[in-house]
Structure 1
Amino acid sequence: MKLLVFGASGAVGQAVLQQALADPRITAVIAPTRRALPSHAKLLNPLLDFAQLPRDASWWAADGLICALGTTRKIAGSPAGFVAVDRDLVLQVATQARQAGVPYLALNSSLGASLQGNLYLRTKAEAEAGVRALGFPRLRIVRPALIQAERTPPRRAEAVGLFVCRLFGPLIPHRYRPVQPAQIAAALLDGLFTAGPGEVIVESDQL
C-alpha cells in the first residue's frame, strides 16, 4: 500500500509519518515538503515549491492521501496567507490526488469547523466542503481540539489554551480537552484500512 502525506513537517504530519513508516501494511510513503526530511527506506521525499505543484508527477497515484497541512495567520503573514494554505493549498493537493485516482482522503480539520465561525473555523469548514465536493469514494475528516505539541515558533493562542486546560483539568468537557498529535495521526491512518465507502467525521472526543 502506498500513502501520500502532505504536511509531514508539522506536529500532526510528523506523527502520521512516524506511524506510517512503522506500519508493515504500508510499503511506501510519499511526503512532499519544502525542506528535506530524515531519510528512511520506505520514504520518498520530493522537495517542492508549493506555489507550483507538479501536475504530472507519478507519485500522485497512491492508495490514500493524508492531508495535515496548516499554518497560522502570524506565520502566514496575513489572513489571506492563512487561507491560502489552510483552504486553497489543501484543495489543490486534494484535487491533484483525486485526478490521479486516489480513493481515500483523510483531512486534519478542527473542532468547531463551521461556515458561521471565525476566520479559522470558517476556513476549515470551507476546506472540508471543498474536498467533499471532489468525490473521494472514502473521506475521513478528523476534528481535533487543541493539539498538545511543542511548536517552533510557539503559537501564543494555542499555548494560552493549553495552559487553561491544564489549570482546570477534569472540569473541562472531554470534547474540548487537548489531544496528542499521535492520537490524531492514528485516526487519520485508521480509515486507510477500515473505512467503508462514504464520509466519516471523527470528533475530538472520539480520539
Structure 2
Amino acid sequence: MSRLLLAGATGLIGQITLTLALASPRVTRVIAPTRRPLPAHPKLVNPVVDFDALPGDADGWHVDAVACALGTTIRDAGSRAAFHRVDHDYPLAVARLARAHGARAFALVSALGADPASRVFYSRTKGELEQALANLGFDSLTLLRPGLLGGDRAQHRAGERWAQRIFGALGPVLPRRYRVVPPERVAAALLEAVLDARPGRHVVPSEQLLG
C-alpha cells in the first residue's frame, strides 16, 4: 500500500494510528483531514477541512485505503443530532468520497454492541453506519468493535475514568469482551486491517483486540 487516508487523526485512537502509519515503511503517504492543523511530517498531507462541507474533488481522496477513527460521545457532541452527524454522517461522507475515487479498503473503529436494530441510540447509530458502509462496495471492510477504551483523552470524561478504574480492577473476573481495551491495540489493529486489506467484510470483537 502507498496512500492511506486517516479520518479522526486528532482523537485518542487516531493519534496513535497516525504515529504508527507515519513510521510504517508500507505507507508512503498519509492524508489526514482535520479541523485544526497537525504537526508537520514529510509523509503527512494535512488538509484543514470542514466536515460539514468536504470538498468532493480534492486530490486527497485518491487513496488506496481509509482508516476511520472519527467519533465522539453524546455528552461531548451536545445532542443526539450532533452525535449522529459526527459518528455516522462524517465517516459515511469520507467513505463515499474515497470509494468514488478508487479506495479499495476501509477500516472503522465502531463499538461493542453496534446493531442497526438496537433500542440504544448509540449502538443503533454505530450499527447503521456499519450497514451503510457495507453497501458501498469496498473490496475489504473491517469493523473493529472495542468495548471500554483505556488511556487518557484530551477531553476530561470523569464517567469514563471511573469506569476504567472499576472495569480495570475487575478485569481478571470479567468476560473478555467487557475488559478495558488498550487504545494502542485498537490503533494497531486498525492500521493492520487497511495494510492487509483482506477481501470481504470482517468484524473484530472487543475480546480479540485484547491480544
- Alignment TM-score, normalising by the size of structure 1: 0.96
Between the two proteins, the alignment pairs up a number of residues equal to 207
Counterpart of 1:187, as a letter, is A
Q: Which runs of 5+ in 1 are unaligned?
A: none
Q: Percent identity?
A: 47
Deviations 1:114-173 (A, max 9, x none): 221411111110110111111111101000111112122222332232121123231111
Give the aligned residue type for 1:77: G
1:9 aligns with 2:23: no
CA contact (8 A) 2:4 2:66 kept: yes
1:173 to 165, 172, 175: 175
Aligned to 2:92: 91
Question: Moved runs in structure 1, 4+ residues, more than 6 A?
Answer: none
Please, what TM-score do these two structures have when normalized by structure 2?
0.94
Kindly state the Cα deviation for residue 196 of structure 1 after the two structures are TM-superposed: 2.5
SS in 2 for 1:14: helix
Q: In structure 2, what is the Cα distance between the partners aligned to 1:23 and 1:44?
A: 16
Does the CA contact (< 8 Å) of 2:168 and 2:180 recur in 1? no
Distance in 2 between the 1:156 and 1:113 partners?
Answer: 24
Q: What do the CA deviations read for 1:84-141 (whole angstroms, capped 9, x no partner)?
A: 1101111111111111110000011001112214111111101101111111111010
Q: Distance in 1 between matches of 2:122 and 2:38?
A: 28
Task: Say whether 1:32 aligns with 2:48.
Answer: no
Q: What's the counterpart of residue 128 of structure 2?
A: 126
Q: In structure 2, how many angstroms separate the alpha carbons of the residues matched to 1:123 and 1:156?
A: 23
Partner of 2:46: 45
Question: SS of the residue aligned with 2:170?
Answer: helix
Q: How far apart, CA to CA, are the structure 2 residues paired with 1:117 and 1:125?
A: 11
Superposition deviation, residue 191 in structure 1: 2.0
Q: Which residue of 2 aligns with 1:138?
A: 140
Offset at residue 197 of structure 1 (A): 1.4
Matches of 1:193 and 1:160, distance apart in 2: 35
Q: Does 2:49 match 1:66?
A: no
Q: Which amino acid aligns with 1:105?
A: F
Aligned with 2:123: secondary structure? helix
Q: Name the counterpart of 1:161.
A: 163
Partners of 1:197 and 1:168 in 2: how far apart? 37
Alpha-carbon RMSD? 1.1
Structure 2 unaligned residues grouped into runs of 5+: none
SS of the equivalent of 1:140 reads strand
| Contact in 1 for aligned 2:14/2:187 (Cα 8 Å) | yes
Structure 1 residues 157 and 122 mapped into 2: Cα distance closer, same or farther (>3 Å)?
A: farther
Q: Which residue of 2 aligns with 1:192?
A: 194
Matched with 2:107 is 106
